[in-house]
Amino acid sequence: MSSLPLRSAVDKSHTWNAESVFATPEAWSAEVDSILADLPKLKQYEGRLKEGASVLADAFAAFEELNLRAYRTYMYAGFAYSVDTTDQSAAGMAGKAQGMFGQVAGAGAFLNPELLSIGQDTLTQWIKAEPRLAVYGQFIENLFRKQAHVRSGEVEEILGMLSDPFGGPSQTASMLTNADMKIPSVQDEAGNVIELEESAIWKLMSEEDRALRQKSWENYHATLLSYKNTLATNLANSIKQNVFLSRVRKHENALEMMLYENNIPVSVFHNLLATFKKHLPIWYKYFEVRRKALGVEALQPYDMWAPLTKDRVKIPYQKAVEHIAEGLLPMGKDYVGILRNGALEERWVDVYPNKGKRTGAFSWGAPGTHPFIMMSYTDEIFSLSTLAHELGHSMHSYLTWQNQPLVYAEYSLFAAEVASNFHQAMVRAHLLQSNPDKNFQIAVIEEAMANFYRYFFIMPTLARFELETHTRVENGQPLTADSLINLMADLFSEGFGGKVEVNREHVGMTWSRFSHLFSDYYVYAYATGIAGAHALAKRVLSGEPNAVENYFGFLKAGSSLYPLDALKRAGVDLTTPAPVDAAFEVMADYVDRLEKLLA
């Protein structure tokens, strides 16, 4: 029986540096209790902001201090739960943290309504008069930009308190698919029994044994189908919550609400989907190249990650860190030194898979902590790319926290996916240039196409799914398991263009595999992110004047600039379809090179 190790059996050197945040879970629990006890220190300013600039500065300080403490404790509990969803104490911590976070949000809900009642002119004068307020110019400007959608203090307090119960669908989906759901095991060609944990199943999708891939895929999706009504109801409730919030905040729809938050026109979203559909023939060609290379009569979804050569490239974790560091040398030795130290010495990364570990990968931290990474490294080039991606997020966070005050210490998801994909583009270019071996070249392009497949095929398809499901709810139409499955199957069938066989029930459950859909209208940002990333990487690699400095300006900006403005300063304009078109040209070149290598 081949199985993943228990969390307790994982070498500590390969786990995230939890003790650098809180020495023990007991210390964490004491801090949660302390935060709740300190809520009155923030509430004391409710109704008093109009008293003057000094009181406002004191209120801002109290608000930021409490929120930073809350975010650190929330991150600690969430990360502990993510690396082992079977740990009941960690699950309890995550629930306690979410409840605490909702109370903090509710306690500070008076801030924006009171600021709006004071007026922008008065606040501008106060900012000039009180040095402690000087940093808040962009924050105030952004607040008054959103003025029409900020409700009364009482309503805002209720909306803040809703963050806890509204987190229910996401938590339920995670608990079901990561902890409770049991996928039937499979046997490989040698007769070895393999347990199908979701965090490890995608490694099997890159195995040469097609029968193993097929059985793993079928067992996984059949298990998801057995919970289809629960999963569908859960997602439908999340979508209804989004629509509810958009109406409470007086937006036209949920799409406008989510993009409005970061001052992004809805045209950016629609441009992406239109450009994606225009370039589907590039995907059709790739699917045909892959089918011929695998020598199969019909390409199946579980063939998308199958190796195209028998000589597999194996890259241990430490070697992967070195490859990534070498690829990023154009960014300077200081940048590379911070990255290498974080990945190898300071334990930013929770490296390997274990029982109960969440599927996927993410970067998460807070000012004052390391920018931690959760992943399941498997010594494959795909894992190298995932590590590069997440280190892009982590370096973005690191430089933002080093250069911005707390009010601008977070950046948008729209900007985040540029930094992560930038790393992958840079490292991929280095690998292709540094090793001419044919099998290595094929492996690098395979990984590149797998990345494009995820971000430039699956994510735009999920974005189309999001738009349609939200529109249906906004029009009063119900969402059922069968309607979600049929919609998803239709969208993938169009995307595959007859080049890939579609088991409608299995492909139709794709939506249930992506927790991203609980972050409303997020998935489209992967596609705009990969487009912006390749445009910026091209500037750096071609040696354009100030390209590196301008990119650092983007990384350091945090939310002190709107994301589109920060990217324009770095050298890319995502308000037009041009970067998306250019990224499809990069992908088309990969397809052509792959076809020649395989020939």
Q: Are residues 243 and 159 in the same domain?
A: no
Reading the block at residue 333, the tokens are: 């030795």
Reading the block at residue 392, the tokens are: 């892009």
Please give the Cα distance from 488 to 471 (Å, whole number). 15
Please give the Cα distance from 479 to 469 (Å, whole number). 7
196 in helix, strand or coil? Answer: strand
CA neighbor of 28 nearest in space, from 70, 88, 86, 83? 70
Please give the Cα distance from 328 to 37 (Å, whole number). 46
pTM: 0.87
**Tens of pLDDT along 31-62?**
999 999 999 999 999 999 999 999 999 999 99
Pick the residue with more confidence: 397 or 414? 397
Which pLDDT belongs to residue 193? 87
Q: Could you say which of 163, 188, 217 is where a domain stops?
A: 163
Q: Are residues 243 and 153 in the same domain?
A: no
Which pLDDT belongs to residue 251? 93
- Residue 510, domain CATH: 1.10.1370.20
- Of 31, 256, 380, 390, the catalytic one is 390
Q: Is 544 a catalytic residue?
A: no
Rg (CA), the chain: 24
In a domain, 229, yes or no: no
Q: Are residues 392 and 534 in the same domain?
A: yes
In a domain, 398, yes or no: yes
Q: Are residues 151 and 290 in the same domain?
A: no
Q: Which domain does 28 fall in, by range?
A: 7-163
Q: How many domains does the chain have?
A: 2
Which pLDDT belongs to residue 200? 65
- Residue 39, domain CATH: 1.20.140.70
In a domain, 487, yes or no: yes
Which pLDDT belongs to residue 198? 67
Whether residue 267 is predicted with pLDDT greater than 80 in this model: the reply is: yes
**Tens of pLDDT along 79-99?**
999 999 999 999 999 999 999
In a domain, 243, yes or no: yes
Q: Are residues 24 and 142 in the same domain?
A: yes
Spell out the residues 6+ positions from residue 155 whose beta carbon is closer than 8 angstroms to its own.
Answer: 248
Which phi-psi region, left, alpha or beta, contains residue 362 (left: φ > 0; alpha: ψ -120 to 50)?
A: beta
Which pLDDT belongs to residue 502? 95
Q: Are residues 249 and 157 in the same domain?
A: no
Q: Could you say which of 163, 178, 193 is where a domain stops?
A: 163
Which pLDDT belongs to residue 452? 96
**Tens of pLDDT along 532-590?**
999 999 999 999 999 999 999 999 999 999 999 999 999 999 999 999 999 999 999 99
Mean model confidence pLDDT for the chain = 94
Percent of the chain with pLDDT over 70: 99
Residue with tokens 């390409």: 299
Q: Are residues 50 and 159 in the same domain?
A: yes
**Tens of pLDDT along 451-467?**
999 999 999 999 999 99
Whether residue 186 is predicted with pLDDT greater than 70 in this model: the reply is: yes
**Tens of pLDDT along 324-382?**
999 999 999 999 999 999 999 999 999 999 988 988 899 999 999 999 999 999 898 99
Helices (H) and strands (E) in the chain, counts: 27, 5
Q: Could you say which of 163, 194, 219 is where a domain stops?
A: 163
In a domain, 523, yes or no: yes
Please give the Cα distance from 553 to 564 (Å, whole number). 13
